[in-house]
């Protein structure tokens, strides 16, 4: 049939006229579900979801994030190594007045978080992202506590601040990384397989399980560290009885406390008893003993200075020998205006002997309570003991003993700062580790030189534990040798049923108080 204009109506004859083409055009009209970019893989040639080519690494953004994560891991490992070394030898500028174990724990958490992220990079998990949010929240609380509380800020310094901020930033980074990989994985699966996969292989489920368990462990660790930091913040409110003085070029502070009158009723000057706690703090035992002796009139005045790392005193840079600790105590006493004369009385004796030797005529008497001989310093410096102390220090931020003690055993601030639980603190453990590291080298040299320069006419009294002497014949021989460090031995007393802390028994307290009175008023 001809058209109106005389031409053949081929469209009608072929069945492809406007009426027939209109529905097809409407079917192919773009809508909100149409891809903006064409699919580069024909629908008939979609890949299997298990094909290695189906990977989020195809996206440049995912690859860049992975390279940055590797870079951050290397930086974290470098920082972790510096903090590990500073436990044994403090690099210039890296001294922390706390234990140093808290910054190390934050560095370890950041490094572990990044390593787990790299291992399970291509297998994102919603559970991991939820745990990352919890970790980030806990680390934010740690950051606030560390920066807001003056005592923790003072003890951790810039090293601790950088460590906790880096751990927080890495927690946020791993959260964003996992979310980006999840998005990239869905995009590539839709492009290459036609749809985003919701199933996982057995290997992927195993990897997800391991990654979730790892993140749960890290979250629990951060929770425990947060609880311990809260306890430290609470303990910071306990004020010291004395004053803190900067020593060693204003690197750290030493606590000094004195009580009593340095003269008798006639105005004559009397020696001040200088207490030394030896293995523990002076406040836990000797302080109460000295207060009682002062009330009884056995002494007129006493002082004590907490060695670095004990009670209220800061820790010192490593290494720290007995001679260095004695010098720090001497400087703190001088800054406090205390210049003797002294009667040096202490348990353990190493520090008391070094102090006596270096102050010569200022020391009017030397009272050694169950003293440790320099030949036995190898016990203090045992490698096994040092390794166990280091492990205790690494675990100390978790508060595995402090937290239950505070919750269930009624341990107070005083218990944790200077009392029966003080040995659980990171500072105390670090101080003991420092003793261990140089006990058989630097400290042994210090005590040997002090014996050579000790004033020979200083009155000397030794009070020994009968229990230890009966237990070890070598201990008795070494006690006898220590009675000869001066030529002026007043007394050598053995208290039969007394332990190493001789004042813990009534007989020991009476004996020490009587001998102390003789040295002060003699």
Cβ atoms of 351 and 500 closer than 8 Å: no
DSSP strand pairing (243-247 vs 363-369): unpaired
Q: Encode 339-367: b = buried (16+ Cβ within 10 Å), e = exposed.
A: ebbbbbbbbbbbbbbbbbbbbeebbbbbb
Between 322 and 9, the higher pLDDT residue: 322
Q: Looking at residue 48, what is its pLDDT?
A: 64
- Cα 320-323-329 angle, rounded to 5 deg: 90
The mean-pLDDT minimum among 81-85, 226-230, 481-485, 496-500 falls in: 496-500
Listed residue (314, 366, 416, 300) closest to 90, CA to CA: 314
Mean of the per-residue pLDDT values for the chain? 88
DSSP strand pairing (243-247 vs 252-260): antiparallel
Kindly state the percentage of the chain with pLDDT values over 70: 89
Cβ-Cβ contacts under 8 Å for 60 (sequence gap 6 or more)? none
Q: Where are the domains of the chain?
A: 56-235, 243-385+418-521
Across the range 45-61, mean pLDDT stands at 71
Backbone torsion region of residue 58, taken as left when φ is above 0, otherwise alpha when ψ lies between -120 and 50, otherwise beta: alpha
User: Could you tell me the pTM of the whole model?
Assistant: 0.85
pLDDT at 56 over 90: no
Give the architecture-level CATH label for domain 243-385+418-521.
3-Layer(aba) Sandwich (3.40)
């Amino acid at each position: 049939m001809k058209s109106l204009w005389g031409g053949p109506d081929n469209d009608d004859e072929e069945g492809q006229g406007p009426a027939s083409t209109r529905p097809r055009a409407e079917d192919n009209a773009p809508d909100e579900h149409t891809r903006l970019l064409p699919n580069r893989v024909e629908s008939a040639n979609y890949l299997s979801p298990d094909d290695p080519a189906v990977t989020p690494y195809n996206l440049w953004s995912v690859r860049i994030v992975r390279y940055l994560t590797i870079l951050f891991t290397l930086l974290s490992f470098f920082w972790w190594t510096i903090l590990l070394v500073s436990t044994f030898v403090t690099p210039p500028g890296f001294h922390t007045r706390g234990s140093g174990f808290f910054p190390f724990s934050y560095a370890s958490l950041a490094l572990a978080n990044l390593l787990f992220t790299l291992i399970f990079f291509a297998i994102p998990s919603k559970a991991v992202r939820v745990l990352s949010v919890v970790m980030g929240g806990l680390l934010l609380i740690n950051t606030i506590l560390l920066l807001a509380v003056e005592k923790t800020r003072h003890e951790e310094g810039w090293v601790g601040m950088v460590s906790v901020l880096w751990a927080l930033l890495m927690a946020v980074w791993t959260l964003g990384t996992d979310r980006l990989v999840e998005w990239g994985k869905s995009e590539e699966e839709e492009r290459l397989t036609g749809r985003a996969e919701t199933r996982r292989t057995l290997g992927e489920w195993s990897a997800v399980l391991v990654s979730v368990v790892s993140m749960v462990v890290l979250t629990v660790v951060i929770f425990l560290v947060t609880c311990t930091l809260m306890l430290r913040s609470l303990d910071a409110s306990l004020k010291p009885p004395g004053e803190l003085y900067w020593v060693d070029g204003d690197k750290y502070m030493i606590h000094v406390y004195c009580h009593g009158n340095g003269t008798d009723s006639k105005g004559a000057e009397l020696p001040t008893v200088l207490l030394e706690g030896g293995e523990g703090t002076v406040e836990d035992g000797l302080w109460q003993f000295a207060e009682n002796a002062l009330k009884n009139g056995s002494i007129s005045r006493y002082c004590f200075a907490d060695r670095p790392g004990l009670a209220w005193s800061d820790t010192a840079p490593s290494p720290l020998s007995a001679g260095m600790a004695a010098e720090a105590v001497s400087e703190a006493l001088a800054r406090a205006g205390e210049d003797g004369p002294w009667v040096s009385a202490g348990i353990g004796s190493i520090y008391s002997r070094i102090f006596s030797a270096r102050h010569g005529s200022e020391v009017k008497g030397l009272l050694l309570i169950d003293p440790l001989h320099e030949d036995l310093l190898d016990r203090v410096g045992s490698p096994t003991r040092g390794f166990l102390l280091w492990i205790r220090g690494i675990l100390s931020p978790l508060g595995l003993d402090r937290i239950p003690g505070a919750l269930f055993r009624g341990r107070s601030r005083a218990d944790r700062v200077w009392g029966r639980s003080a040995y659980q603190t990171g500072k105390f453990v670090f101080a003991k580790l420092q003793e261990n590291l140089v006990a058989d080298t630097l400290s042994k040299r210090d005590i040997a030189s002090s014996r050579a320069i000790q004033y020979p006419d200083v009155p000397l009294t030794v009070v020994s534990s009968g229990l230890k002497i009966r237990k070890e014949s070598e201990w008795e021989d070494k006690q006898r040798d220590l009675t000869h460090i001066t030529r002026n031995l007043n007394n050598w007393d053995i208290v039969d049923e007394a332990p190493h802390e001789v004042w813990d028994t009534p007989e020991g307290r009476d004996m020490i108080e009587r001998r102390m009175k003789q040295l002060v008023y003699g």
